[in-house]
Amino acid sequence: MSKLAFNVRILICILTIIFPILLWAFGGSEPDSYSQYYYTNAAPVFVFVLLGVSFKMMSTPKWFIPGALLLLVIFFPCNEYRLIHNFSAILFYLISSLIICRDKRLYVIGWIMIAASPLYFNSLYWAEVIETTFLAMFHLLYLLRISKAQKG
């Protein structure tokens, strides 16, 4: 992986970790879900970050399906296409969690994501914040491990 590609991936992970702060800064108070930010001033940030995450994921065969599902989440807004949007979002988080659970070293992150799933019944927004943050942390730790292995 080139240094530029590596740095872009690191940047996408960091943007995803600070995603709730960015959305709040541009879109205001906490909505019912991440997707509701699409209807606020934070829409460009929402779309830009999710497109970056989606394309990054789709560049790796193991993550292609979650990346494609995330594209569906973006291209089918929640208010107009509720069924497609929600089905794609649920599958995105579920498949992402299962992929991480199969990782030999960082599987605990996947189990934390699955354990956070009941939060959806209490607060969709906070469940998404937790799951998205852990997903980004997994990718960031994975990239740092690759970097360390290439240097060593």
Arithmetic mean of pLDDT over the chain: 93
Region 15-20: what's the mean pLDDT?
Answer: 93
Q: What is the pLDDT of residues 50-102, one digit of tens each?
A: 999 999 999 999 999 999 999 999 999 999 999 999 999 999 999 999 999 99
pTM for the structure as a whole: 0.91
pLDDT for the residue numbered 24 = 92
Name the percent of the chain lying above pLDDT 70.
Answer: 99
DSSP labels for 54-119? HHHHHTSGGGHHHHHHHHHHHHS-TTTSHHHHHHHHHHHHHHHHHHHHT-TTTHHHHHHHHHHGGG
